[in-house]
Amino acid sequence: MMDDLDRKILNMVQSEFPVEAEPFRVIAGKLGTSEDEVISRVRRLKEAGVIRRIGAVFEPRNLGFVSTLCAARVQEDLIEKFVETVNSLKNVTHNYRRPHEYNIWFTLTCPGEESLDETLQWIKTETAVHDILSMRAVKVFKINTNFEV
């Protein structure tokens, strides 16, 4: 069960995480508690699965990265292997199944066009799934989502 302090910590961590040497100390100061208390609560919330991860969100294009949304047509008997292979890549941020002939969709970000092409080819070779559409964004829409807890 979460209390008010847990909720306040979650709200701060997702929307105003301090870029400081001791960010949890800064959060603690703003909330009138100790750094140890904040760290303990964040650890507990992470272990409980409330917090998936804490990390920076970068704009890949500004760092020279390219990304694409992929849709794959995967035979039922190959889905498990395909999903396992795609999920093994650290540069896949989403991977989900859809009720469509292109039934597995994922996003892939790589440090350049060549790397993106090589990674898609690797997926095809490893999984024997060759019908993968790569749909590059024509216009990017970013929605900053924070959940008031």
Q: What is the pLDDT of residues 74-109, one digit of tens each?
A: 999 999 999 999 999 999 988 999 999 999 999 999
36 shares its domain with 73? no
- Does 143 have pLDDT greater than 80? no
- Does 33 have pLDDT greater than 90? yes
How confident is residue 111, by pLDDT bands cut at 50, 70 and 90? very high
**What letter would DSSP give residue 46?**
H
Q: 88 in a domain, yes or no?
A: yes
Q: 77 in a domain, yes or no?
A: yes
User: pLDDT at position 3, please?
Assistant: 95
65 shares its domain with 38? no
- Does 4 have pLDDT greater than 90? yes
Q: How many domains does the chain have?
A: 2
42 shares its domain with 76? no
40 shares its domain with 107? no
pTM beyond 0.95, yes or no? no
Residue type, 129: V
Helix 35-47 / helix 23-31 crossing angle, nearest 10 deg:
110
> What percentage of the chain carries pLDDT values higher than 70?
97
CA 55/CA 68 separation, integer angstroms: 21
130 shares its domain with 86? yes
13 lies in which domain range?
4-47
43 shares its domain with 98? no
**What CATH number is given to the structural domain containing 81?**
3.30.70.3460
**What letter would DSSP give residue 96?**
E
Q: What φ, ψ does residue 67 adopt, rounded to 5°?
A: -140, 160
28 shares its domain with 89? no
Q: What is the mean pLDDT of the chain?
A: 92
67 shares its domain with 31? no
Least Cα distance to 97 among 72, 125, 120, 116 occurs for 72
First to last CA, the chain: 13
66 shares its domain with 116? yes
How confident is residue 15, by pLDDT bands cut at 50, 70 and 90? confident
Q: Which residue did the predictor score with more confidence, 116 or 53? A: 116
**What CATH number is given to the structural domain containing 9?**
1.10.10
Q: 140 in a domain, yes or no?
A: no
User: pLDDT at position 145, please?
Assistant: 67
90 shares its domain with 68? yes
127 shares its domain with 64? yes
